[in-house]
Amino acid sequence: MKNLNKNFNEKKDANLIWTEIQKEMKSKFGSEIYESWLKKIYFEEQQSNYLVVSVSTRFLRDWIVSRYLDEILKIVKKQIKEISRIEFRIEDKEHEKDKAVNNIIQKDDNISFIKDSFLQYNRIDQNKSFDNFITGTSNKLAFEASKKVSENISHYNPLYLYGGVGMGKTHLLNAIGLKLKSENKVTFISAERFMYQFVKSIKSNEMVRFKDNFRNTNVLIVDDIQFMDGKEAMQEEFFHTFNALLEKGSQIVVSADRPPNKLKRIQERIKSRFSGGLVVDIQNPEYELRYKILKEKTNELNLYYNEKINISEEILKFISYEIRSSIRELVGALNRLASFARIYDRVPNISETKIILKDLLNINEAKVSIDNIQTLVCKYFKISKNEMLSSRRSRYLVRPRQVAIYLSKILTSKSLPEIGREFSNRDHTTIIHSVKTIEKLKIENSEINSGINYLKNQIMYKSENEV
């Protein structure tokens, strides 16, 4: 592959690259899908690590995003390695001369719809409220804390939510902003967008205006704070903004993919202020929550398309059990089945479901092995694997062994006997006891809970990067 990145912002070169991307999309998805949907995506510009494209209607945007975005992003990254997300504008190319520049900002992790304004913030989505946030054991505390903040500003300040990708952090941030915006000046922005506007303000000599906008708000909500990693000048400005807002009693809410003490290349004084507020994690959704989400989303799909898609209880339970890593993947699986049902005018059976979702169903098995879990747990507790797998029952060995068994149970699809065999042929009652012990300790001991969540993230990160 030729290195075309260097001159990407030059329109001529950009169009050449986009032509290559279009060819690969056509090859990947087939001529019919490409001609019907993907051909209508137009390149606009590249901004640092994201690509801006446009489509003519919101319907077209929603259709593409819900069905093809992840694969399109993979194709784009082959050509432009630094790209991490794609942003969409709603622009009718048939009437380009008359197009408006004031599209409302919305965001759903990989996608933003950009407003041509000074700050390009306040991406509050009317559809992401507390009312439609589905709760379970794994996210109940985060939900309740977010509601408390929306009812009583500065009660928990700052509120720091963390968890893996696709767990609902952005939804909760949005719900807080939606609840407070009628009576407060709310600023809702991603850390990446904050950085972009910070740099832009310096270049355009508008730092006074930049500071005024952020320091005169009643509620500051910042998504994905980990993207401040290593950006010293930006961190300096954020620190002073943070202090100014706290002094005047403004509410600060941030989200990240890890706890404050695990943020890399972030100033210690910033991490200290995050830790001084309420820190709440959103864990991987348990089976009951996954099933509840699928039932609710099925009802939403039926209302949206004004038709009845009768996906069987067997299939819903199957998906709930097999797809455990994120809510986004869970909903994506449901969308695939719904698309199949609409295209073929029938609901897939269990065998067809396994084929349709084969890449998602294999994700845990492909990415996470018990051997990796054991290795990382041993490293964390500073013991050898031989010690973990031995019959010794010293306290310093029992707890790590129980943690590794617990993580094997929740991160893989192995049965209890299979897990037992991986731990020197321990019987299934020992495995059950270990799992229940850790589940109880996670509730009773916040330090143990944080440690297990850290290990979980480490295991998933290592596994993803080995694939």
What is the distance of C-alpha 103 from the center of its chain?
A: 24
Written as tens digits, the pLDDT of the chain (467 aa) is 334 444 444 544 667 788 889 888 888 888 778 887 888 898 888 877 788 888 887 777 877 887 788 889 889 888 888 888 888 888 765 444 333 333 333 333 333 333 334 444 456 777 888 988 989 888 899 999 999 999 888 678 899 999 887 888 989 999 999 998 888 888 898 888 888 888 888 888 888 888 888 888 889 999 989 888 888 888 999 999 999 999 888 999 999 988 998 888 899 999 999 999 999 999 888 888 888 988 888 888 777 666 677 888 888 888 888 887 778 888 888 888 888 887 888 888 888 888 888 777 754 444 678 888 999 999 999 999 999 999 888 888 999 999 999 998 888 877 888 899 999 999 888 999 999 999 888 888 888 888 888 888 777 656 544 54
Among 246, 115, 133, which residue's Cα sits nearest to residue 179? 133
Query: What span, in angstroms and rounded, lies between the C-alpha atoms of 411 and 422?
Result: 14
Q: CATH assignment of 368-466, given 1.10.1750.10, 3.40.50.720, 3.40.720.10, 1.10.10.10?
A: 1.10.1750.10
**What pLDDT score was predicted for residue 304?**
67
* Domain spans in the chain, listed from the N-terminal domain onward: 5-113, 140-282, 287-361, 368-466
Query: What span, in angstroms and rounded, lies between the C-alpha atoms of 307 and 431?
Result: 45
What is the 3 state secondary structure string of 361-378?
Answer: HCHHHHHCCHHHHHHHHH
Is the fold of 140-282 the same as that of 287-361? Answer: no
5-113: which CATH topology? GMP Synthetase; Chain A, domain 3 (3.30.300)
140-282: which CATH topology? Rossmann fold (3.40.50)
CB-neighbour burial class of residue 105 (10 A; exposed 0-12, middle 13-18, buried 19+): buried
Query: What span, in angstroms and rounded, lies between the C-alpha atoms of 424 and 376?
Result: 18
**What pLDDT score was predicted for residue 101?**
31
Which runs of consecutive H residues, i.e. helices, occur in 160-206? 169-180, 191-203
Output the CATH code of domain 287-361: 1.10.8.60
**What pLDDT score was predicted for residue 362?**
57
Q: What one-letter code names the amino acid at 361?
A: L
**What pLDDT score was predicted for residue 331?**
85
